[in-house]
Chain A
Amino acid sequence: MSEHADSVMNVIFGWDPVWVAGTLFVLTYAVIMTERVNRAIVALLGGMLMIMSGVLNQHAALRGEDFNTLGLLTGMMVIVAITRRSGVFQFVAIWSAKKVGAHPWGILLMLSVVTAVFSALLDNVTTVLLIVPVTLLITQELKVTPFPFLFTEILSSNIGGAATLIGDPPNIMIGSAVPFSFNDFLFNLAPIIPLILLMTLAVVWGIWGRKMHASETARQNIMEFNERNSITDVRLLKQSLFVLTAVISGFILAHQLHLEPATIALFGAALLLLLTNIRRSSESQAKDVHASFAEVEWITIFFFVGLFILVHGVERVGLLERLANAVLDFTGGDLTNTALMILWISAIFSALVDNIPFVATMIPVIKSMAPVFGGAENLAPLWWSLALGACLGGNGSLIGASANLIVAGYAEQAGHPIRFVPFMLLAFPMMLMSIIISTIYIYFRYLV
């Protein structure tokens, strides 16, 4: 707690800071879980109360902010907001549907793989926003029920998102807190992802795939789609693909370039804004830049802002260290036990509640375990367990990840609502299957 020497805690009414911080933290998380009030409002209120009650001063609170996570999220959101206007994602979806002769099972397979790949490179929510409308169009044309398609896309988005540093918020947070590079994530997490996706698709084949059928005329309708017409702006397409490629190459080379991911993402966002706005009138620039910034999911960003302060508050009063010690007592300070416990608890928690606050809390907890395991460099299995557990756990229920809710919202509007219980009855066991695969992977790769 060296960084806190500059400020003495002046908690209101002379109350015990541990109790004040702990109560604020638990209350905020409880209200977030009820989902009665928007999570950004709750987290921001909780964070500010942490300051106003005197647990942190504003200066200390700002040190709790993980600006790398905030910058990376914002930058990628701006880049994707601009890129999607070119129609490229629609192009890929339709192109892949035609590649398999518009056969329903083939389309499900292709769209799931496309969803997983996009989710690995972009935000999951963005990915499903791009894929689901095309899916609904195709299933309506084929006259098949969209549920198996949407169900598999939800699972694929969370599975694909687990593969990279930028794929899913838990990974972004872990990548910011620990000096792991984009490539570290790729080498350690991505290898197991294809197997998990394959097994998931095998189950989907067993449940729906083998019975899928569409009439010849319906398939012909899809084959007559002209995907080239979905590219609305070729210039914009070239500009955004250039920037997107540059940014992803930047992530891969970040370590050698001595750059943090947020710098690369925000640079990419600024560059793409420049390319798309140069030589336009100042009025039209203002309009365009405003529209691009407006597509940033500010709810997520402000949720993070509040959360980081809350977690920093409980960390500072020493609560998270106590939690870490409790975990270690339970696992007997054994690395294998601790890693597998983190994997399973993360998965179950993330299925039932938002995985973002859970991961935000677990990061300092795991960090403080370093001395027990002989230094920070030995914690890798714990970090990969947290990442896989939190990302894949999101598949356990409809509320497990934001992308799930987005898909459900779409399905509801289209007149094919996805219900909580039927979804969970199928998705939870499949999530457990992915965690069993992860357990074997982590055990044999890191723990024997």
Chain B
Amino acid sequence: MSAEQFMSRDPVTAPADERVRDALVTMCRKHIHNLPVMDSDGKFLGLFGLRNLLRALLPKAATISPALKSLDFLADNLEEVIDSLQEVADQPVMNYLDREHLILCRTDEPIMEVIRKLYEAPTSLPVVLVESDGAHLVGMISYWDILAHISSQLGDVDPRLKSACVMNNNEGSDASE
């Protein structure tokens, strides 16, 4: 039982120069939290996630380390957030990849290690084959993939849970999340 068997294959991806605006459209439509970003040769570069978008909306003083612990003193400034979003939306997704929190998964990793990594990672896990010329993305594993896979093995123990989880995962089958 390794990662390869329960990952979602052929995930939706975005080219490095895709604008954040277009990436968000894809993500909203397909209910994806994390979009794998590929270079022009199809090599995996990293994930563009909604978490990265949040980071881009914050003032820098809140994301550097050690950062301001609270922004409670700021006025209620929705316009500022809208301005930030407009500014970010026209940038390429490439500028907002989070390398610090990226946790990768190999195809042959055992299920317990995959669960541990998912628990630790703030994103879904990209499953990659690392070769000398770079990383090739072969799939993505989300919480739902794991849950669907485990419950699909439940047999008749809990048919209700089984069908709910598996169906949920299939609905978003082209999504990674």
A interface vs B, CB < 8 Å? 85, 87, 90, 94, 129, 133-134, 136-137, 140-141, 221, 224-230, 232, 410, 413-415
Produce 1/0 per residue, B67-79, CB < 8 A to A. Answer: 1111011110100
Given A140-B59, A225-B75, A228-B73, the answer on whether A90 and B64 have CB atoms closer than 8 Å is: no
Given A140-B61, A221-B80, the answer on whether A133 and B67 have CB atoms closer than 8 Å is: yes
CA distance A225 to B73 in the complex (A): 5
The answer, yes or no, to whether B60 is at the interface (CB within 8 Å) is yes
A87 touches B61 (CB 8 A): no
Instruction: List 24 A–B pairs whose Cβ atoms lie within 8 Å, in order of A's numbering.
Output: A87-B69, A90-B68, A129-B66, A133-B61, A133-B64, A133-B67, A133-B68, A136-B61, A136-B64, A137-B68, A140-B59, A225-B74, A225-B75, A226-B73, A226-B74, A229-B72, A230-B70, A230-B73, A232-B70, A232-B72, A413-B60, A413-B64, A414-B61, A414-B64
CA distance A225 to B75 in the complex (A): 5
Neighbouring B residues of A410 by C-beta, 8 Å = 64
Q: Among A137, A227, A228, point to the contact of B59 (Cβ < 8 A).
A: A137
CA distance A20 to B64 in the complex (A): 45
Neighbouring B residues of A140 by C-beta, 8 Å = 59-61
Closest CB of chain A to B61's CB: distance in Å? 4
The answer, yes or no, to whether B65 is at the interface (CB within 8 Å) is yes
Query: Would you list the 4 A-B pairs with minimal beta carbon distance, nearest first?
Result: A224-B75, A137-B61, A413-B64, A229-B72
Q: How many residues of B contact A (CB 8 A)?
A: 17
Closest CB of chain A to B104's CB: distance in Å? 24
Given A129-B66, A133-B67, A133-B68, the answer on whether A415 and B75 have CB atoms closer than 8 Å is: no
Closest CB of chain B to A23's CB: distance in Å? 40
Tell me whether chain A's interface is mostly helix, strand or loop, or mixed: helix
Closest B residue to A217 by CB, please name it: B79
CA distance A127 to B77 in the complex (A): 29
Given A221-B77, A225-B75, A226-B75, the answer on whether A134 and B69 have CB atoms closer than 8 Å is: no
Neighbouring B residues of A225 by C-beta, 8 Å = 73-75
B59 touches A141 (CB 8 A): yes
A227 touches B73 (CB 8 A): yes
Neighbouring B residues of A134 by C-beta, 8 Å = 61, 68
Produce 1/0 per residue, B54-94, CB < 8 A to A. Answer: 00000111101111111011110100100000000000000
Known pairs A136-B61, A140-B61 / 9 extra A-B pairs, C-beta < 8 Å: A90-B68, A133-B67, A136-B59, A140-B60, A141-B59, A221-B75, A224-B77, A413-B65, A414-B61
Closest B residue to A129 by CB, please name it: B66
CA distance A90 to B72 in the complex (A): 11
Neighbouring B residues of A136 by C-beta, 8 Å = 59-61, 64
CA distance A229 to B76 in the complex (A): 13
Closest CB of chain A to B71's CB: distance in Å? 8
Closest CB of chain A to B76's CB: distance in Å? 9
Q: Among B59, B65, B73, B80, point to the contact of A90 (Cβ < 8 A).
A: B73
Closest B residue to A138 by CB, please name it: B61
CA distance A166 to B62 in the complex (A): 30
Neighbouring B residues of A415 by C-beta, 8 Å = 60
Closest A residue to B72 by CB, please name it: A229
CA distance A140 to B69 in the complex (A): 17
CA distance A85 to B69 in the complex (A): 9
B69 touches A232 (CB 8 A): yes
CA distance A410 to B60 in the complex (A): 10
CA distance A28 to B67 in the complex (A): 35
Q: Among B59, B65, B70, B75, point to the contact of A87 (Cβ < 8 A).
A: B70
CA distance A413 to B60 in the complex (A): 8
CA distance A230 to B65 in the complex (A): 18
Neighbouring B residues of A90 by C-beta, 8 Å = 68, 73
Neighbouring A residues of B60 by C-beta, 8 Å = 136-137, 140, 413-415
Neighbouring A residues of B74 by C-beta, 8 Å = 224-226
B73 touches A229 (CB 8 A): yes
CA distance A118 to B132 in the complex (A): 53
CA distance A244 to B74 in the complex (A): 28
Closest CB of chain A to B121's CB: distance in Å? 22
Closest A residue to B63 by CB, please name it: A413
CA distance A188 to B72 in the complex (A): 42
B64 touches A230 (CB 8 A): no
Closest CB of chain A to B100's CB: distance in Å? 12
Neighbouring A residues of B65 by C-beta, 8 Å = 413
Produce 1/0 per residue, B6-28, CB < 8 A to A. Answer: 00000000000000000000000
Neighbouring B residues of A221 by C-beta, 8 Å = 75, 77, 80
Closest CB of chain B to A122's CB: distance in Å? 16
Neighbouring B residues of A87 by C-beta, 8 Å = 69-70
Specify which of A94, A137, A410, A414 lies most central, judged by the most chain B CB atoms within 10 Å of its CB. A137
